[in-house]
């Protein structure tokens, strides 16, 4: 008899980031009012789902995003460091095109290898830790559903890895909007489908602070 389990891998909501920096793993970056509303919206959409396990990245924005979902289902939120944002040498700097750190020649050597990438945590390392986190959530929610809250690059890297695509990619093409959900459908241990949805609406993948 087959055992259906769903792991919903969610990106956090919009972050309060008035300076427009790449905040990465820096502490203290909370959801904006819009981000909090997105989290509540997703919680309402998932209210009738059979979610029995909730886990998030340790960063504040992920914890705040998962809180209303866990409350809706009466769950205690677990924290998994494997779900954290990708490490990045440009953390704390502005990196938008035209007015950011990328204009300065001293930063150009950090961009020499887009395939690993040279400016941050290797894509394959992100994929492996995210897969381990998703597998742990699947095992904890066997026969039911789990919700994971992580970050744009880790979520999208996991999806590309599972779809057998190359991990380096153009960020402008990421299908991973704010508060979006990439649902991993399992039959037993076998991944049988990946379903993407945007219960809180679409957002620009290149928006500063997104």
The mean pLDDT value for 82-111 works out to: 67
Would you state the pLDDT for residue 88? 76
pLDDT at residue 24 in the model: 86
Which pLDDT belongs to residue 167?
92
The per-residue pLDDT of the chain, averaged, comes to 88
Gap between the Cα atoms of 22 and 17, Å rounded: 9
C-alpha to C-alpha distance for 53 and 124, rounded to whole angstroms? 26
pLDDT of residue 60: 97
How sure is the predictor about 51, in pLDDT bands with cuts at 50, 70 and 90?
A: very high
Query: What average pLDDT score do residues 43-63 get?
Result: 97
Mean local confidence (pLDDT), 77-101: 77
Comparing 135 with 203, which gets the higher pLDDT?
A: 135
- What residue spans define the domains of the chain? 4-197
| Sheet of strand 145-150: strand arrangement | 77-79, 51-56, 145-150, 4-11, 181-187, 190-197
pLDDT band at 14 (very low <50, low <70, confident <90, very high): very high
pLDDT of 133 higher than 80:
yes
pTM: 0.89
Gyration radius from the chain CA atoms: 17
Whole-number pLDDT of residue 208? 47
Helix 33-45 and helix 60-73, axial crossing angle in degrees, nearest 10: 30
Is the pLDDT assigned to residue 108 strictly greater than 70? no
SS3 9: strand
Pick the CATH number of 4-197 from 1.20.120.430, 3.90.550.10, 3.40.50.12140, 3.40.50.1240: 3.40.50.1240
Query: Is the pLDDT assigned to residue 23 strictly greater than 70?
Result: yes
Query: Is the pLDDT score of 29 beyond 80?
Result: yes
What count of residues does the chain have? 210
Q: Which of these, 97, 93, 90, 169, lies nearest to 126 by C-alpha position?
A: 169
SS3 category, 54: strand
Q: What is the pLDDT of residue 210?
A: 46
Q: Which band of pLDDT confidence, cut at 50, 70 and 90, is reported for residue 116?
A: confident
Q: What mean pLDDT comes out for the span 167-190?
A: 93
């Amino acid at each position: 008899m087959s055992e259906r389990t769903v792991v919903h891998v969610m990106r956090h909501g919009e972050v309060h980031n008035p300076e427009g920096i790449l905040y990465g793993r820096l502490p203290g970056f909370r959801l904006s009012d819009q981000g909090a509303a997105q989290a509540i919206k997703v919680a309402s959409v998932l209210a009738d789902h059979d979610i029995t396990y909730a886990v998030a990245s340790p960063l504040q924005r992920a914890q705040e995003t998962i809180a209303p979902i866990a409350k809706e289902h009466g769950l205690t939120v677990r924290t998994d460091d494997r779900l954290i944002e990708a490490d990045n040498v440009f953390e704390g700097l502005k990196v938008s095109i035209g007015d950011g750190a990328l204009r300065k020649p001293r930063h150009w050597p950090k961009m020499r290898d887009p395939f690993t990438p040279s400016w941050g945590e290797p894509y394959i390392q992100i994929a492996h830790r995210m897969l381990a986190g998703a597998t742990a959530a699947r095992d904890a929610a066997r026969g039911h559903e789990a919700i994971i809250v992580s970050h744009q690059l880790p979520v999208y890297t996991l999806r590309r890895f599972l779809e057998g695509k190359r991990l380096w990619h153009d960020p402008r093409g990421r299908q991973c909007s704010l508060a979006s959900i990439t649902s991993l459908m399992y039959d037993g241990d076998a991944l049988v489908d990946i379903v993407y949805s945007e219960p809180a609406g679409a957002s620009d993948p290149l928006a500063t602070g997104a």
